[in-house]
Amino acid sequence: MKSIRRFCSGSVRIQMTGESPERFFNLCAASGLDIWDVIFSKGNYIFSMGIHDFFSSKPFIKKAKIRLRIQQKLGLPFFLHKNRKRKLWAAGFLSFFVFLWVLSFFVWDIGYQGNVMYTDDELSHFLDTLGIHCGIMKNQVSCEELEAALRNEYEGITWVSARLSGTKLYIHVKENDVPLEIPVKDDSPCDLAAESDGTITSMIVRSGIPLVKPGDEVEKGQILVSGMVPITDDGGTVISGRYVHSDADIIAVRERTESREIPLWHEKEEKTGRVRKGLMMNIKEHSFVWLLPNFRNTEWKTVTEIRKIRLFGDFYLPMELGFITSGEVSSYDVKYTEKELEELGEAYKNEIAEKLMEKGVQIIENNVKILVNGSSCRFEVTMRTEESIEMETEIEAQGETQGEQPADEHN
């Protein structure tokens, strides 16, 4: 801050010679005159002073019997005086600051914080419907009304804070972690059938009549738990039945197979070392690119890093600057080696296992076969897993009205 003030008011770089330079420094310090960057070179002192302090120090020159020689003039006053005849340049210089002053009345960037359930694009689209977008004047944005509109539009948002800082609009939201709707329990009558072939390892039946037990081998589609609960008379004869919603946890060991086929030849890219760098400027919907053309008509891979331009703090400008890096590559077809195929097979096997484990499936055995056939390669994964295999099968309720069967536990 002090350096900016010195630049605006102007300063001089001075060489001092004479009998009592120390007395001159003491007199200036006693009078509150600012002196900085003092050095001693070849028997002389060299230092800097502000323009006003320099003229105020003239009475001390005779007292200290010294001489002051201005070596350099620095700061805005000298710069303006030097260029006083360059009217067009001065007009452009002033116009630049006027342009920045005008830009400060608009919103040029919108930032979101705390949103997970709702994306930035989704919130920006809603703001567009309210007429709030980059380029709107700040006095047309009511933060209180914007906060209320977001809370009313999105049930998952419990708290909103909107504020303007510089040329940026900040929107901070907090989302509700509790489910908005409690799932409705399905009480319609149903059986539980096997989703796949397997061997039952455990059963916990809460509702319905179990038709299998641990250790039984079952087939896909086989009924495991019946939703028809028989009603008997005193003699044990079935006289009717009622239908319930079967509910059970049935775990079984089953076999899984997955496969993927890839071409044996694939395209490989290598960098040649040739690099082109350039710049891109985005202003609203217009883009300007400065990049050397591809004279050799070869293949290049280009990466552009886009940055929003800001002067300082939250003073953003209505433009983006992109840094372009383009590298030349050479492409050719190459055949997978045996080691590469093994690595791809292992990666495919692990990919399937990770997806199943995310669903709570326990992996007992996991193997992969690599089959090469002509110009293609096939990966076949066979797995033994222990997992839940029950699936609901609708049944039509007959006889008495469906009811809730008392929980029966079978292990």
φ/ψ of 185, rounded to 5, equals -70, 130
Whether 167 and 107 have beta carbons less than 8 Å apart is answered as: yes
| Chain centroid offset of residue 173 CA | 16
CA 58, 63, 67, 68 dihedral sign is: negative
Banded pLDDT at 402 (limits 50, 70, 90): very low
* Residues 6 or more apart in contact with residue 74 via CB below 8 angstroms: 7, 10, 11, 12, 13, 48
Rounded CA separation 57/32 (Å): 10
Same domain, 71 and 3: yes
- Total of domains in the chain: 5
Banded pLDDT at 409 (limits 50, 70, 90): very low
Query: Does residue 294 form part of some domain?
Result: yes
Q: What is the CATH number for 128?
A: 3.10.20.310
Mean pLDDT over 272-289 rounds to 90
List Cα–Cα distances, 184 to 156, 187, 188, 241, in angstroms: 19, 9, 12, 26
Rounded CA separation 246/194 (Å): 13
Same domain, 216 and 228: yes
Q: Is this model's pTM higher than 0.75 or not?
A: no
Nearest one of 35, 65, 63 to 49, comparing CA atoms: 35
Q: Which pLDDT score is estimated for 355?
A: 94
Banded pLDDT at 183 (limits 50, 70, 90): low
Rounded CA separation 339/341 (Å): 5
Q: What percent of the chain has pLDDT over 90?
A: 54
Same domain, 352 and 364: yes
For tokens 């400060």, what's the residue? Answer: 104
Query: Does residue 216 form part of some domain?
Result: yes
Whether 160 and 185 have beta carbons less than 8 Å apart is answered as: no
Whether 225 and 248 have beta carbons less than 8 Å apart is answered as: yes
Query: Does residue 275 form part of some domain?
Result: yes
Whether 407 and 377 have beta carbons less than 8 Å apart is answered as: no
Query: Does residue 92 form part of some domain?
Result: no
Whether 191 and 393 have beta carbons less than 8 Å apart is answered as: yes
- Does position 109 have pLDDT exceeding 60, yes or no? yes
Query: Does residue 135 form part of some domain?
Result: yes
Rounded CA separation 389/216 (Å): 13
Banded pLDDT at 407 (limits 50, 70, 90): very low
DSSP for 150-205? HHHH-TTEEEEEEEEETTEEEEEEEE--S-SSPPPP--S-EEEEESS-EEEEEEEE
Banded pLDDT at 408 (limits 50, 70, 90): very low
Same domain, 151 and 197: no
Same domain, 69 and 2: yes
* Domain stops at, among 150, 173, 196: 173
Looking at this protein, which amino acid is placed at residue 92?
G
For residue 124, give its domain range: 104-173
Same domain, 318 and 342: no
Same domain, 212 and 227: yes
| Mean pLDDT value across the chain | 88
Per-residue pLDDT tens for 202-259? Answer: 999 999 999 999 999 999 999 999 998 888 777 777 677 788 999 999 999 999 999 9
Looking at this protein, which amino acid is placed at residue 162?
A
Whether 243 and 227 have beta carbons less than 8 Å apart is answered as: yes
Per-residue pLDDT tens for 28-78? Answer: 999 889 899 999 888 889 999 999 989 998 888 888 888 899 999 998 888
Banded pLDDT at 181 (limits 50, 70, 90): low
Largest CA distance in the chain: 134
Stated as kind and residue range, the H or E segment containing 336 is none
Query: Does residue 43 form part of some domain?
Result: yes
For tokens 């990966």, what's the residue? Answer: 379
Stated as kind and residue range, the H or E segment containing 406 is none
List, in sequence order, every residue forming a beta bridge with 386; answer none if it has no partner: 253, 362
Query: Does residue 143 form part of some domain?
Result: yes
- Does position 164 have pLDDT exceeding 90, yes or no? yes
Nearest one of 196, 208, 201 to 247, comparing CA atoms: 208
Per-residue pLDDT tens for 360-389? Answer: 999 999 999 999 988 999 999 999 999 999
Which of the residue ranges 4-8, 139-143, 232-236 has the most confident prediction, judged by mean pLDDT? 139-143
* Residues across the chain: 411
* Domain stops at, among 200, 226, 251: 251
Query: Does residue 9 form part of some domain?
Result: yes
- Does position 284 have pLDDT exceeding 90, yes or no? no
Same domain, 246 and 310: no
Rounded CA separation 1/54 (Å): 21
Rounded CA separation 402/398 (Å): 8
Same domain, 353 and 375: yes
Per-residue pLDDT tens for 321-358? Answer: 999 999 999 999 999 999 999 999 999 999 999 999 99
Whether 192 and 224 have beta carbons less than 8 Å apart is answered as: yes
Rounded CA separation 161/147 (Å): 6
For tokens 């000298």, what's the residue? Answer: 78
Same domain, 78 and 8: yes
Same domain, 139 and 208: no
- Does position 399 have pLDDT exceeding 50, yes or no? no
Q: Which pLDDT score is estimated for 396?
A: 55
Q: What is the CATH number for 12?
A: 3.30.70.260
Backbone conformation region of residue 364, classed left if phi is above 0, alpha if psi is from -120 to 50, else beta: alpha
